[in-house]
Amino acid sequence: MKKKIYFVIAILIVGFLAYFMYGVLTTRSHSPSETKTFSHAGLDVKVVYSRPYKKGRLIFGDEQDEALVPNGKYWRLGANEATEITFSKPVKFAGKPVSAGSYRMYAVPDATSWEITLNSELGKFGYFKPNYALDVVKVNALVETSPVEAEQLTINFDNDSTGVIMDILWDKTVVRVPIEAQ
């Protein structure tokens, strides 16, 4: 009788471990990694982030409405590892000076604007909040509504007469951050 109980427990443990490992090993395919690069007027910008899908969920909104990214809360600007941005030379990030280099980039979304922060703590898994003492710059960017719904989180770059524009798009939300070489 004891052998049967031990056998059942062993099968349950192996099943649980297999299910857990499947989730861990396939998580990156659910939110694939993307590297975006953009060059303009001698400035090279690179963003490395993971791109989650909407999958019918409420993306931005209030916590009580079970939004995936609740207003007023830390968000890693993607999935999996922390989102990182690299500048080849000093820039003005939404008008604020930032030295050349790589930074962890995260946001605190709200309905009308997002606080986007560059932080010097690199190489961390994005789920864990950063060491806020290492924040380099915080900027506010207005939220715009897109006429087209983006199923997958996307960060794009474009340029205008002032420099580079970084667009963050997901669902029907667009946030634009100007980046200008110093």
Q: Where are the alpha helices (DSSP H) in the chain?
A: 2-30
What are the residues facing 46 on neighbouring strands? 37, 86
* pLDDT computed for residue 19 by the predictor: 66
* pLDDT computed for residue 77 by the predictor: 96
Mean pLDDT of 124-132: 89
* pLDDT computed for residue 125 by the predictor: 87
What are all long-range contacts of 119-122, with beta carbons under 8 Å and residues at least 24 apart?
122/82, 122/84
What band does 69 get if pLDDT is binned at 50, 70 and 90?
A: very high
With pLDDT > 90 as the criterion, what percentage of the chain qualifies? 77
Nearest to 43 by CA among 94, 97, 100, 98: 100
CA distance 62 to 43: 37
Q: Whole-model pTM?
A: 0.83
Mean pLDDT of 63-79: 96
